[in-house]
Structure 1
């Protein structure tokens, strides 16, 4: 906040001193968080590169492309190539709009915090509640879809090894999925002190896989590579939709792949120099995936079999496995698919770290069931939200049961990640440009006069992407096994969250809470609270294993 008196600045310095003395943060980062109303509780051990790393690792470029080839291959090689380029361009616009907000107000619960801050007084609590749940469950859906993809990739290696003469049952797929989720919970709980450093290693692993693929495939298909006309102009249609709409459905591949950039926001309170690390992490991760993803899909279009139906109907269960098999044989396919599912495993670990921070932030503001229990920070394990990690693991294990029903039901996990997060990203951007223009104070990274046009473009694209994710991929008149259950799953999330709010939560959810000591409020905070018609009273939250600090809770006036 600008224009503060020396007394106000002194209060922020006092608010940050405990965090500095404890080695959790430097004074500037702790003071920035204090301006948003929160005391520093997590350790800031992520550099800018490591913040980028966690987002890029979650995106897991090549494994994500492999997991979503069923959406892009039906549009043909040109559909794969140009859908990636165009969709990524619009996703970058969304990233620019979010970077503006992330630089100005970096906090782990950013999306629902921004929504509450910018929305109208009559709608802010309900919208903030909706965004918090949509984002939390959308990220858990992303964890489920990543780990479900891992299970399919791992088992595809077994299928290749058995020459396609064995097929895993839904129960086996779920067992592998569940084991993966539990392993992620254990690693996220015990490796916190080096988790930032691990992100750099994860990025290196991603690039090793990318370069191994874009080198091995052209060599393996040296005498059978497709020409430029096939790659850039050959459109196909393996669906019952018109060719143009099949091309649009191919956008779902980049939309799902480049979907983890909000993890930079959720790591805000663990990032050093957060006002720059968060926006640059967002833009660097999207930009890297835009460029390298385009290179990958061009290489795949050049090296894949022209018989597209042989890829979508492969006995290996994964089109990517068939592409590897055709190019470099059984042993090479097993080797690269093994590397592929290892990188997919790392993706799951990174997204669990991010969703646990969002869940922790949401419980810190009292919005989740059992919030006083979930929001406890484990100092013994390195100032991490240990209980929030296992809360997310439990939710993922339950949602993963959909995979026991049918593949179509399992695809709902994919749609939960896309549609749920689109709503969570678009709502604060919308609130900012409709109700909150006068309240927005730019941070160090800002798009200037282009900010509002970029924000409107982002909103239109996110609405379109949400609608796109609800269409049956194969065509109109789907059967129960080919139906897209996005509207069912996300409708349950959105309507359930709103019903929960209006039936019960409206009585006690007042938006983000102030967790600073009363005497640590700056003059600008006190002035803003008065202007919003909010009074402040002491409240102490009991936290097992942490120090009890008198807190200030925002309470709307009657």
Structure 2
């Protein structure tokens, strides 16, 4: 008599237990090692391509503004990472930011704030995908301009078509890489690719500008102001480059249900990725400032459409610039794969808790594609294609894609840290990583910085006298997101959204565990959510569940 094939083990007992304590069944397969968790964040940050995409923020403040703006801002972002690592180690779940907000907030506010954070984080991550792929499109067409000696003039329509192809290609890569369970290993490849590009630039620019390199005094002390703002504010605007670049560290939280030993892997990934970008980014800014032309306006107004293309061109000529920019946009393309992965996990977690439209459809897990939420992958890709239509309006509207990511995610990072400070200090139980007596001061500094950086992302870059072409549409886009989410909640969702749901079979819990979870989270208990009757929490395996679908 043939025996049934063994069920596939999704997680080790300790990881399954940790997730079960938060009310969730293990549905995703834990394939990511500690280094691969760091790798997904570092790959999303895509250090050099991101610096290249945001030089229009930093160059107007001069070389000193670029260099010291990076160093100071990265330090503040590291503080935010410490505050998030405390939470991520204690409660590692894919929907961490809105879950933590609900857990720590006062009863009166927990549902609307959790709902708002979930939408802000989801759309912020999709906005990050848009901004990365839009940056890719600009870099690719800049190479074509270089190849044709300026004969090719890209239109907004052409840029959007390149953007569209990029997003769709990412969807297919994530889908099929998940099928063969290599997404984790790919993050290591992406990390190496980023480091190789940085090393190549460290060689190419100084060698190409030999005899023309700028002095240390110029690099570290020379300021400028090519904006309409006072010089001090122009320096702050240079902070937007690291704020946007080092913005992928929350991906470690969203991948936590696929990470082995998540309580340590999540803080390791957050702090490791920020630390690498802090140090290597500082060096990148020094090298660029040392080797770029002192005519800053010519760099910003380059006919190639990309300041970094002009910097490479000045150093190594047309052919060398083509080669380096090709490497640059290929690395940028890799970034999009990783952020689509992270955004799909956040969208899936939010759908699992019933908060997104068509949640029953998007919360399905595909066993055929490696126990991953493929429907959410394509849902996020489709939404990115719609948001990318801003490319067709004007460059100012397209720049809102960058700031949608920064402002949306900043708010999502701020809220759980703030909720813990104000309402939830007594509810916080530290995980293996904990900053101890410094935890509260770190959280306070993190909150202050996140408020400031959110306001900064909404300011017009060129000056206070704005036109439709120079307007920063971030305030419009984000207020529409936040206002729309709150309106949706109070008009309709408040009738059915009660916060994170419990998907683990209640029969697996002791009476004390169930009572405590019900008190803390007002959980909607689904006693039949995991088929197969009673199971040991440490023996969670892939099984046929009514709500697990396939595509």
Does 2:342 align with 1:354?
yes
Specify the alignment match of 2:376 in structure 1: 388
- Secondary structure (helix, strand or coil) at the match of 2:182 reads helix
- Secondary structure (helix, strand or coil) at the match of 2:219 reads helix
Q: CA RMSD in A?
A: 1.6
Specify the alignment match of 2:360 in structure 1: 372
Does 2:545 align with 1:548?
yes
Cα 1:352–1:246 shift into 2, 3 Å:
same
Contact 1:57–1:199 (CA under 8 A) maintained in structure 2? yes
Which of residues 40, 47, 71 is equivalent to 2:26?
Answer: 40
Contact 1:106–1:265 (CA under 8 A) maintained in structure 2? yes
- Secondary structure (helix, strand or coil) at the match of 2:545 reads coil
Which of residues 386, 392, 397 is equivalent to 1:404?
Answer: 392
In structure 2, C-alpha distance between the alignment counterparts of 1:470 and 1:370, rounded to whole Å? 31
In structure 1, C-alpha distance between the alignment counterparts of 2:444 and 2:223, rounded to whole Å? 31
In structure 2, C-alpha distance between the alignment counterparts of 1:440 and 1:157, rounded to whole Å? 51
How many aligned positions are there? 531
Segments of 5+ residues of structure 1 without an aligned counterpart are: 1-19, 552-558
Which of residues 273, 277, 300 is equivalent to 1:312?
Answer: 300
Does 2:321 align with 1:324?
no
Q: How many Å apart are 1:167 and its aligned residue?
A: 1.4
In structure 2, C-alpha distance between the alignment counterparts of 1:342 and 1:358, rounded to whole Å? 26
Specify the alignment match of 2:177 in structure 1: 191
Specify the alignment match of 1:135 in structure 2: 121
Cα 1:423–1:535 shift into 2, 3 Å:
closer
Specify the alignment match of 1:179 in structure 2: 165
In structure 1, C-alpha distance between the alignment counterparts of 2:408 and 2:295, rounded to whole Å? 35
In structure 1, C-alpha distance between the alignment counterparts of 2:126 and 2:547, rounded to whole Å? 32
Specify the alignment match of 1:302 in structure 2: 290
Which of residues 84, 98, 101 is equivalent to 1:115?
Answer: 101
Instruction: Write the mapping of 1:260-271 to structure 2, written as runs, cut at 5 A.
Output: 260-271=248-259
Specify the alignment match of 1:342 in structure 2: 330
In structure 2, C-alpha distance between the alignment counterparts of 1:250 and 1:332, rounded to whole Å? 28
Specify the alignment match of 1:240 in structure 2: 228
Does 2:260 align with 1:272?
yes
Residues 219-262 of structure 1 show CA distances to partners (whole Å, capped at 9, x for unaligned) of: 00011000011000000010111111000000000000000000
- Secondary structure (helix, strand or coil) at the match of 2:143 reads helix
Which of residues 495, 514, 523 is equivalent to 1:507?
Answer: 495
Specify the alignment match of 1:258 in structure 2: 246
Contact 2:503–2:526 (CA under 8 A) maintained in structure 1? no
Q: How many Å apart are 1:484 and its aligned residue?
A: 0.3
Q: How many Å apart are 1:522 and its aligned residue?
A: 3.6
- Secondary structure (helix, strand or coil) at the match of 1:191 reads helix
Q: How many Å apart are 1:82 and its aligned residue?
A: 0.3
Q: How many Å apart are 1:126 and its aligned residue?
A: 0.3
Which of residues 466, 480, 485 is equivalent to 2:468?
Answer: 480
Q: How many Å apart are 1:36 and its aligned residue?
A: 0.7
Residues 447-500 of structure 1 show CA distances to partners (whole Å, capped at 9, x for unaligned) of: 000000000000000000000001100001111000001110000000000000
Q: How many Å apart are 1:548 and its aligned residue?
A: 2.7
Instruction: Write the mapping of 1:208-247 to structure 2, written as runs, cut at 5 A.
Output: 208-247=196-235
Contact 1:379–1:546 (CA under 8 A) maintained in structure 2? no
Q: How many Å apart are 1:166 and its aligned residue?
A: 2.1
In structure 2, C-alpha distance between the alignment counterparts of 1:281 and 1:535, rounded to whole Å? 30
Which of residues 81, 92, 106 is equivalent to 1:106?
Answer: 92
In structure 2, C-alpha distance between the alignment counterparts of 1:199 and 1:323, rounded to whole Å? 29
Cα 1:250–1:527 shift into 2, 3 Å:
same
Does 2:275 align with 1:287?
yes
Specify the alignment match of 2:38 in structure 1: 52
Q: How many Å apart are 1:131 and its aligned residue?
A: 0.2
Specify the alignment match of 2:189 in structure 1: 201
Contact 1:540–1:548 (CA under 8 A) maintained in structure 2? no
Cα 1:277–1:218 shift into 2, 3 Å:
same
Residues 42-61 of structure 1 show CA distances to partners (whole Å, capped at 9, x for unaligned) of: 00000000000000000000
Contact 1:377–1:546 (CA under 8 A) maintained in structure 2? no
In structure 1, C-alpha distance between the alignment counterparts of 2:102 and 2:36, rounded to whole Å? 29
Specify the alignment match of 1:25 in structure 2: 11
Cα 1:65–1:532 shift into 2, 3 Å:
closer
- Secondary structure (helix, strand or coil) at the match of 1:222 reads coil
In structure 2, C-alpha distance between the alignment counterparts of 1:475 and 1:504, rounded to whole Å? 40
- Secondary structure (helix, strand or coil) at the match of 2:174 reads helix
Contact 1:540–1:549 (CA under 8 A) maintained in structure 2? no
Segments of 5+ residues of structure 2 without an aligned counterpart are: 1-5, 532-541
In structure 2, C-alpha distance between the alignment counterparts of 1:478 and 1:184, rounded to whole Å? 36
Contact 2:94–2:255 (CA under 8 A) maintained in structure 1? yes
Cα 1:542–1:374 shift into 2, 3 Å:
farther
TM-score when normalising by structure 1:
0.93
In structure 1, C-alpha distance between the alignment counterparts of 2:527 and 2:20, rounded to whole Å? 17
